[in-house]
Amino acid sequence: MPDHFSNINFRKRNLFILFEESVLLKLLKLLIIFLMMTIGGLVGSSVIAAETSVGLASPPAEYRLDDVRVLLTRHPGMRKAPIQQIELSGKGNATLKRDSTSVSFQYKTPQLLDLLNKLYSIRFFELPASYFVQRSIFLKDDGSIGTQIRRMMDAPSSSICFTVSTYEKCVSYGADGPHELRSIEQHLFSEAEYLTKSGVPAK
């Protein structure tokens, strides 16, 4: 009889141990799933935060066309020539200025969208703020390399500024380009000259 009862108790203990192991395995699986979801959420939050911080150096992903303003300025430098400026608004209004003379004209939505697409295509928003600081190297007498910085402050220059909401990006450059900005500049001034022939003086 004792052997019979001991066998029964032994089986009960084994069943209890198996039950405990089964419960522990289920709890462990639930814990692993919970940790994976938590880590995934943290990683997702980090990615969103990273994207947001990167976005600070770029225009908003979405914005209203009405809020867009593009300003193109030509500075004559040391030459005796007027400052020329074109201001384009997302509302369709535009102005061509030469010193004290100002003429308004209409700049339609398709034209402005074409200009904005050109700025995006040349990665305008990733360009340096100025192309007037040129760095070069030279060889010293002791064989080491030195760096020198040259600033072209008196040369004729141009600048393009894009503004929307609280974001603004401006790039200043000279006759050496970049070529893409020079091309946009020449096109805009030619276009403005043509459109202002029927324009009305700005108030």
> Are 75 and 158 contacting, i.e. CB atoms less than 8 angstroms apart?
yes
Provide the 8-state DSSP code for 196.
G
Domain at 65-201, CATH class = alpha beta
> Are 154 and 77 contacting, i.e. CB atoms less than 8 angstroms apart?
yes
What Rg do the C-alpha atoms of the chain give, in angstroms?
Answer: 34
| E-state strands within 2-143 | 68-75, 84-89, 93-98, 101-106, 133-139
What distance in Å separates the CA atoms of residue 107 and residue 140, rounded to the nearest whole number?
Answer: 55
> What is the predicted pLDDT for the residue at 17?
54
> What is the predicted pLDDT for the residue at 110?
95
What distance in Å separates the CA atoms of residue 38 and residue 35, rounded to the nearest whole number?
Answer: 5
Cis check for the bond before 76: say yes or no (omega within 30 of 0): no
Report how far apart, in Å, the C-alpha atoms of 70 and of each of 37, 76, 110, 134, 162 are.
Answer: 46, 20, 15, 26, 5
Q: Which sequence spans correspond to the domains of the chain? A: 1-56, 65-201
CA dihedral 113, 58, 188, 111 (to 10 degrees): 0
Per residue of the chain (203 residues), give pLDDT as tens.
Answer: 455 545 555 455 555 555 565 666 666 666 666 556 555 444 343 333 333 333 447 899 999 999 999 999 998 876 677 889 999 999 999 999 987 889 999 999 999 999 999 999 999 999 999 887 667 777 888 888 888 766 555 678 899 999 998 999 999 998 887 999 999 999 999 999 998 886 544 44
Looking at the whole model, is its pTM more than 0.75? no
> What is the predicted pLDDT for the residue at 149?
66
> What is the predicted pLDDT for the residue at 160?
96
Please give the single-letter amino acid code of residue 114. D
Estimate to the nearest angstrom the gap between the alpha carbon of 57 and the chain centroid: 5
